[in-house]
Amino acid sequence: MRYKIVAGNWKMNKTLEEGKELANAISHNLSGKIPSDQKVVLCPPFVHLLAIKEIINPVDNVFIGAQNCYSKTSGAYTGEVSAPMLQSAGIDYVIIGHSERRGYFNETNAELGEKVKMALAHDLTPIFCCGESLEIRENGTHFDYVKQQLQESIFSLTGEDFSQLVIAYEPIWAIGTGKTASTQQAQEMHQRIRNDLEVQFGKDLAGDCTILYGGSCNPGNAQELFACPDVDGGLIGGASLKADDFVAIVNSY
């Protein structure tokens, strides 16, 4: 089913107590207000996961997600967190391939493909991120670049596995650069991604795939963005750290 999803990526922000306060505020304002075709996912830092999960558990259609997982099940990988660990903690979603992971930690398309498969094998729903830099956008090769990210990471999945996936498009060139992605540009890329998915996986599976927008979504532009036919919600960064802003984005539907 093609759900509408608003996911909050807290990144490396909030102490545990601050995170609990934020989760309580969000949960209080969303309780009983989320329809069955819509989901909210909170993705706090790893050390917050169990505490935040306990807070949001009573709220219908609000879920917990991790910001990353490793491509191995266990071993001598100091500092990493595995998909089986997340599964054992009752985590629902995991972000894979965020632009900051690609940029700061040099995660490759092939490595991210392995992470996706590992997540799926342990009943985690991957939120797979893709997107282009300013240089690639200005060169006019952004459609091909994003298609290559998809090809090298998720096109090897079976249709059944692909049906469990959420895609998030991040226009990296419009995040913190002073440039703004228009609603038309967001819809254009989302439509192109869905078309590429249709060629690979078929019309029905592509049509059911939730594709989120991850480019500086806020209470001022969320309603317009979410009205686009191929934009199914948002992967929210900075605005997810303020309860009022995040709830306003969720309510933009």
How would you class 29 by CB atoms within 10 Å of its CB: exposed for 0-12, middle for 13-18, buried for 19 or more? middle
* 100, 111, 132, 170: the active-site residue: 170
Structure tokens at 194: 């869905």
- The answer to whether the CB of 95 falls within 8 A of the CB of 127 is yes
Structure tokens at 245: 């802003």
Residues 106 and 219: their CA atoms lie apart, in Å, by 32
- The answer to whether the CB of 25 falls within 8 A of the CB of 9 is no
Cα-based distances in Å from 117 to 72, 135, 153: 10, 30, 9
Cα-based distances in Å from 141 to 86, 133, 145: 36, 10, 6
Q: Which amino acid is at 139?
A: N
Which of 127, 146, 183 minimizes the C-alpha distance to 8? 127
* 98, 122, 142, 190: the active-site residue: 98
Question: Is 98 among the catalytic positions?
Answer: yes
Question: Is 170 among the catalytic positions?
Answer: yes
Which positions are catalytic? 98, 170
